[in-house]
Chains A and B, each alone.
Chain A
Amino acid sequence: CEEDLNINTDPNTPIGVDKSFVLTAAQASIATTMGGNLTNLGGFLAQYHTQAPSASQYLDIDTYNMNADFANRMWTELYAGALNDLKYVKQVSEDEGDTGSYLIATLLEAYTFQVLTDLFGSVPYSEALLSQENISPAPDAGEEIYPALISSIDNALTNYDNSPVDSSVGSQDVIYNANMSDWIKFANTLKLKMYLRMAYTTLANPTAVNALLAENNFLESDATFSVYSENIEEDKNNPFYDVQIAHLGDVNNIASSSLLQFYTDNSDPRIDAVYRKNTATPSVHRAIDQGDRGAYTGSILATAFSRPNIKTNTPVYLMTVSESNFLQAEALIRYAGGAGAGAKYNAGVLNSFLTYGLTAAEANALTNTGGAYEYVPSATVETAIRQVMVQKWASLAYINNMEAFFELTRTKYPEIVAFGTQNYSIGNLIISKSSVLAGGQTPKTLLYPDDEVDRNINLTQKGSLTEKIWWDQK
């Protein structure tokens, strides 16, 4: 009888699996969240796109009215999708002595936690991912998570240096094909990004930044994820394409004047890489001011406007060489007197053009002396940094929309100004014309997802979208 009852092992799932397959799943979770949900959200908040007046799917974002259900899916996908898989990869790698895979998993974990704390502030970290041992992990303050993430990266780097074992995952590492040298560059760039995020806080660490600059081993190829089919295929395309364009019918996200007008005024050819022209004859670029649905009554369809130029197999970018260049430029301005910042700035613009599939000549035409984007060295740190940040914003469109929002929230560049006072040509954002927030406020964070608040007794909901993230101190 006893034998006869031993039939409770699920025959529908594998009993064991190589860690490399799990690493791919983790990367897919991060990429899908970054390239889908956060490309959409970040695109509104960084004012790359706005809600088409004839539809209303994302009216909650454009009106600054995201509720506590808004973040349920991204939160779940990052914690229970990416981070639990990475924890498994780390454990197995440690057991197998695979220091390379351990480093890869650690870096992706740090990247993910950084996005979580940048979005939500305090989030579960030290008590997270313990399964039934702790089903209500208490949140840790962002000020504690950042240093912990940096030390986890340093620890994994040291492990790898002490006993360099090339990762065994091979092409299951969709991002860098298990190339350890690329991942070490990724590590340094990620650390630089985190140090600079803390620039306006008491945790700013010029020494550490200068050490990184001295080592000078940053990203040389874009960190991209793509397993996407070129054909239009449900569940197999770029996440923004799959949902916003294919599933929802391409009717919601239309170009915002904030970015489109910036490109137009500066004759920036990236306009055609970032946006598709409208379907009028002849087709032209057309945008509306952020949130300005009131001016377009009746049934003017999204096809009348420029729309995001994301294709079926556009990769998801986790970090780019261009972003790395701008980070270095900012670091040089902030902590090294600005020497060499201009070159990094130019490289940032150049590499942005290359990522968008444009030419070096087109970039150089704008950054050369007399060009619209010519770098003007300045004794004032903020003046110098504004140039870097505006270019960074103009180069992150549909590359990493959320990062663009974090950076403009941190540095206040490009400035968000009241409608009517904006100058789109120098890089300005406006307060969404359909904002429901009184007193000219704009969102700074997201509410904790209801699913988490309902299930985690140690997490208390925050009061509003306008509460600042810890590093937002300028």
Chain B
Amino acid sequence: QEKTISGTVSDPSGLPLPGATVLVKGTKSGTSTDFDGKYSIKANQGATLVFSFVGYTTKEARIGSSSSINVQLSEDAEALEEVVVTALGIKREKASIGSAITTVNSDQLNEGSQTTMADAIKGKVAGVVISNSSTDPGASSGVIIRGFSSLGGNNQPLYIVDGIPINDGSRFSSSLDGAYDFGRGSGDINPENIESISVLKGASSTALYGSRAANGVILITTKKGKSSKLDIDVSTTMIFSDLLRAPNYQTEFGQGWDGQHYLGENGSWGPRFDNTVQVWGNVVNNSQKLKPYSFQKDQLRNFFDVGESYVTNVAISGGSDNTTGRISVNNSTSDGIYPTKSDSYERNTLTLSFNSKLDFLTFGGSLNYVNTSGSAVASGQGLSVINNLMQIPTDIDITEFKDYKNDPFNSISNYYTPYGVTNPYFTLNEDGSGYLKERVYGAFDVTAEINSWSSIGYRFGIDSYTDNTKVWQAIVKPLPGTPNFGSSTLDEGSYFERTSIFKQFNHDLFYNLSIEANEKFMIESTFGFNYNDRFDTSISSSVSSQDIPDYFALTNSTNTPITSSVINKRRLYGVFNSTTLSYNDMLYITANIRNDWYSTLPVENRSVLYGGVNGSWVATNTFPEIKDVISYAKLRVGYGETGVDTDPYQVNPVIILGNVDNQGFRSLAFPANGTNAYEIGNRAANPDLKPERRKEFEIGTELSFLKNRISIDFTYYDAKVENQILSLPLAASSGYTSQTANIGVISNKGIEALLKLGIFNNPDGFNWDTTLNFSTNDAILEELDDRLDQVSLGGLSTTSLVAREGEPLALIEGSVPKRDDNGNIVVDANGIPVASSEKEVYGDTQYDYTLGISNEFSYKNLSFAFTFDIRQGGLMFSRTADITRFTGNSITTTLNDRQPYIIPGSVQEVSPGVYQTNTTAIDTEHWDDYYRADAIARENVIDKSFVKLREVILSYRFSKKIIGKTPFEDLSISLIGRNLLLFTPESNQFIDPEVSTFGTDLSSQFGEFSANPSTKSLGVTLKARF
């Protein structure tokens, strides 16, 4: 007897599945679910309904007496049939994609409740390395896809949100005298708004986005409202963080220098601890403090406190049959582990989106308003808090210094040392920085259906922000007559402020065709035109002294502020076509072609044509009979090329305002005393500049076995970037110091492998899934301009980051001991090794491999997951090593128990080229000289391998039975741990090797220059839907 059956089809998380197919088995009768996942169908009792949806396992249900059947479809093991969003926002079955695309959906993305999108995909995408310059609140997360492919410019991917490019510019300073990081543009995207992220890695698929996609594309599709259903989602997260790694200190020797117990010293080169009570610090008002001369355990750790961060998100979505909308607000605040709010961050986002269908027209749009504010504790040398901290001898309790206002011993005038550092609490409280950004970005699109097989569309995107940065240093002036008067610890104070405006407009026009030639052949094609315009301007001003204390302003100084303003403009036009041919759901070929015209290149070289082609073959659709063994098999292969332009104004020479370097510390800045000067800029012209060209071949396979219990996704790629554009450092004797030039070829070869194992799979009982995510990438500078031996990529003057032909990209070079003709180490008159006048390469900075290991256990409503992040190989410079070795605090500074020591087999040079056997032992007085000798600078370069327990999540999802009587439709609670454990090799006794103070791009590979310490954290998150 026929009756009407109705119900809801939902996904495993309970979300409705619109568009799912419902068929009556054995008939041609069928329907599909609406936007709300609801269906209704007429069928006979006893018949069987078949529910299917691409990307999910098909489920059957027999019609009984009930007229309501709700089904929950489980994801097809590892969602091999999933739909992915490809270039230009086109949705395609994943099977049709011939290049490696990884999609991360909302659930995976938000399970760890990360504040930024980049952190949320960390470890989830093979071949993508996410690096955080620090765990300071609001700091940047960099994303590198398939290694560094550009020596000069940017290696970050292009971010596309709902079809429009989003600025990912960073606001950081890597100044050695005070670095800070206020984050990247992509950090403004609220991860809770994201429906899915597709990571396009290879040039065969990214070509359509033009030059900016040369480093890959991160395609973000935001959540949309659903018809006839009002959802209210609320989530809140609370995370507490603590210091993860402090440098390991020696416990034997205390304050002093040259083996003597001097009370003014900022190092631990004093005598051995005797644990007797002794005076310390300066004599103030005829009194002096007492303390035992003994090791202070957890000295640095005690300075820091517990950081807190909170994220709250509310989203309301719903709609009628033809119009849907969504609104979400998000607030995220954090206060880092430095005491006080000096390291804090707040982000508020408001997002509105709508979609509407009116006859043959479809409209959509979204508008995002983001404001971020923060303050950072500057890192680096000089009077930075971290530098002050690390120059405190191992026997002094740092927390003693806390009261610098009332306790005269702790004032800057009487602080125990006059040697270029001061009370860290003073710096923490009195110096500071502030950042404010207001950003609006959004998109509007309209599509008109011309007929059943073609449509025309237009999409407009805007991204605009204003930001303001302020950085100030307090006046540090010890009073006359006090112990520190006339010492090197002197700072006149300073103030810096910058305001920038950034605007980007993007227009796309499309013509889409979708032609089914016959039942088996299908052609889908998109023709398009793109216009992109970017503009930024900034004005900055700084003044190097302040008159009135506790007030910071450009006007608070007798000095004239130094002001500069910069404008950058660039445009590009592009025309493109993307066509996919498919045959019988088993063979697919996609071809992309694009021509760009860039404003940034010389006129003759500004037009660039490129493209790519990729294909895929789903073998299991060709030979369905093998499905018993191999559940799914797909082979894909692709080749693509992309052109890459450069920054504006790199072609022509310039004349600049006179500004003469004065010993690296200051300059003679014109106009000066009524005289002005202009000089020939130091960047040489390059009228022949050509675009970079990235060429990439990739081959990959997706396989699954034993009913999808084992699945493998494997890709091998071989990419080359020719005509590398680099701001090439020139020998000054050429009259110039740089030229933006095409200087060589970089190759990146690597593999990305993802192995998923469903070890236990029992929907109603215990489940255990393991995922291994492995990748390697070898970046080699294959060719370098004949005129050069190597190029410098940054670093310091003593130890630097360089690239050499035929060698891995980014090598660290530094001083080595001088040797005589017999290979003996040459030492100086004090027995300390002499540095060779020529530097040598220590090794490369690349990871040999990265491996993520995730395990997820679940039993009914309880789940437990943890992820280890393993990165092996590579070197980095560490100033934390350098400074703690300089001060004798480091555990590595007790060679020979600091007893006299003759470097084995050493010689002395008594006149040029004449050597004799060395008999001079390094004595107590000179051990400190040994640890800071250029000749042993190699010791400050450490192995950056690590194993981190990246994430631990324990979740409980309340069952429908419990929440059935409550207003909640869904409710879950999770405990989250991040970076709880860190293991590093023996050579690293200093720091979390993930930190960098040189940004998040290639230059960050150099290492860190007294970075702030990283954190581990623990928290709880609550998610509810009404």
Contact = CB atoms under 8 A, between A and B. Distances in A.
B957 to A, nearest CB: 55
Task: Please indicate which of the listed interface residues A22, A78, A303 has the most CB atoms of chain B within 10 Å of its own CB.
Answer: A22
B733 A128 contact: yes
A252 B558 CA distance: 26
Contact of A299 (B264, B545, B562, B600): B264
Interface stretch (A81-89, A97-105, A184-192, A198-206): A81-89
A36 B663 contact: yes
B626 interface: no
Contacts of A454: 729, 789-790, 792, 802
A11 interface: yes
B962 interface: no
Given A251-B488, A455-B729, A79 B571 contact: no
Given A24-B658, A229-B672, A457-B789, A249 B912 contact: no
Interface in B598-616: 598-601, 603, 606
Interface in B817-832: 828-830, 832
B569 interface: yes
A142 B818 CA distance: 27
Contacts of A26: 679
A105 to B, nearest CB: 13
Interface stretch (B155-163, B734-742, B752-760): B734-742
B668 A11 contact: no
Given A436-B830, A437-B828, A37 B663 contact: yes
Contacts of B558: 231-233
A73 B660 CA distance: 10
B764 interface: no
B570 interface: yes
A134 interface: yes
Interface in B770-827: 787-790, 792, 797-798, 802, 815
A455 B485 CA distance: 44
Contacts of A75: 732-733
Nearest to B832: A436
B666 A242 contact: yes
Interface string B485-518: 1111110100000000000000000000000000
B678 A298 contact: no
A266 to B, nearest CB: 29
A436 B560 CA distance: 43
A302 B488 CA distance: 9
B788 A457 contact: yes
A68 B674 CA distance: 38
Contacts of A84: 680, 682, 735-736
A235 interface: yes
B873 interface: no
A128 B734 CA distance: 5
A418 interface: no
Given A137-B731, A455-B792, A303 B485 contact: yes
Interface string B647-659: 0110110111010
B910 interface: yes
A456 B737 CA distance: 11
A13 B680 contact: no
Nearest to A1: B573
Interface stretch (A350-358, A361-369, A385-393, A459-467): A459-467
A455 B731 contact: yes
B27 interface: no
Contact of B660 (A8, A16, A77, A439): A77
Given A55-B419, A80-B736, A88-B680, A243 B662 contact: yes
Contacts of A21: 658, 676-678
A5 interface: yes
A13 B486 contact: no
Interface string A63-79: 00101110011011111
A1 B736 contact: no
Interface string B666-694: 11111011111111111011100000000
A447 interface: yes
Q: Is the interface of A mostly helix, strand, loop or mixed?
A: loop
A294 B667 CA distance: 34
Contacts of B664: 73
B103 to A, nearest CB: 36
Interface in A413-467: 435-439, 441, 447, 450-457, 459, 461-464, 466-467
Interface in B335-374: none
Nearest to B672: A227
Contact of B486 (A128, A250, A297): A250
Interface in A207-260: 226-229, 231-236, 239, 242-243, 246-252
B815 to A, nearest CB: 7
Contact of A239 (B489, B658, B663, B830): B663
Interface stretch (B12-20, B834-842, B982-990): B834-842
Nearest to A444: B912
A334 B830 CA distance: 42
B912 A467 contact: yes
Nearest to A76: B732
Contact of A6 (B599, B669, B737, B741): B599
Contacts of A87: 735
B739 A132 contact: yes
Interface string A266-288: 00000000000001000000000
A140 to B, nearest CB: 11
Contacts of B262: 297-299
B544 A85 contact: no
A152 interface: no
B969 interface: no
Q: Is the interface of B mostly helix, strand, loop or mixed?
A: loop
B565 interface: yes
Interface in B550-569: 558-560, 562, 565-567, 569
B666 A67 contact: no
B394 to A, nearest CB: 19
Nearest to B654: A13
Contact of A10 (B545, B654, B660, B789): B654
A302 B486 contact: yes
A41 B839 CA distance: 23
Given A243-B662, A436-B832, A28 B670 contact: yes
B897 interface: no
Contacts of A235: 544, 562, 662, 666-669, 672
Contacts of B652: 8-10
A7 B735 contact: no
A95 interface: no
B735 A129 contact: yes
A439 B662 CA distance: 35
B765 interface: no
Contacts of A15: 655
A14 interface: yes
B911 interface: yes
A131 B559 CA distance: 37
Interface of B: 258, 260, 262, 264-265, 418-420, 483, 485-490, 492, 544-545, 558-560, 562, 565-567, 569-573, 597-601, 603, 606, 648-649, 651-652, 654-656, 658, 660-670, 672-682, 684-686, 729-737, 739, 741, 787-790, 792, 797-798, 802, 815, 828-830, 832, 834-835, 837-839, 908-914, 925, 934
Given A8-B652, A28-B670, A76-B732, 15 more contacts: A4-B571, A5-B598, A5-B606, A8-B600, A9-B649, A17-B678, A36-B662, A36-B663, A55-B488, A78-B732, A137-B734, A172-B675, A227-B672, A298-B262, A459-B731
24 contacts: A5-B571, A5-B606, A8-B601, A8-B651, A9-B649, A10-B649, A14-B655, A16-B655, A28-B677, A54-B418, A55-B420, A68-B837, A72-B797, A80-B732, A85-B679, A87-B735, A129-B733, A227-B675, A242-B666, A451-B732, A455-B788, A455-B792, A457-B788, A461-B837
* The 10 A-B residue pairs with the shortest CB-CB distance in the complex, in nearest-first order: A439-B910, A299-B264, A436-B828, A303-B486, A84-B735, A25-B679, A456-B731, A24-B677, A234-B544, A124-B733
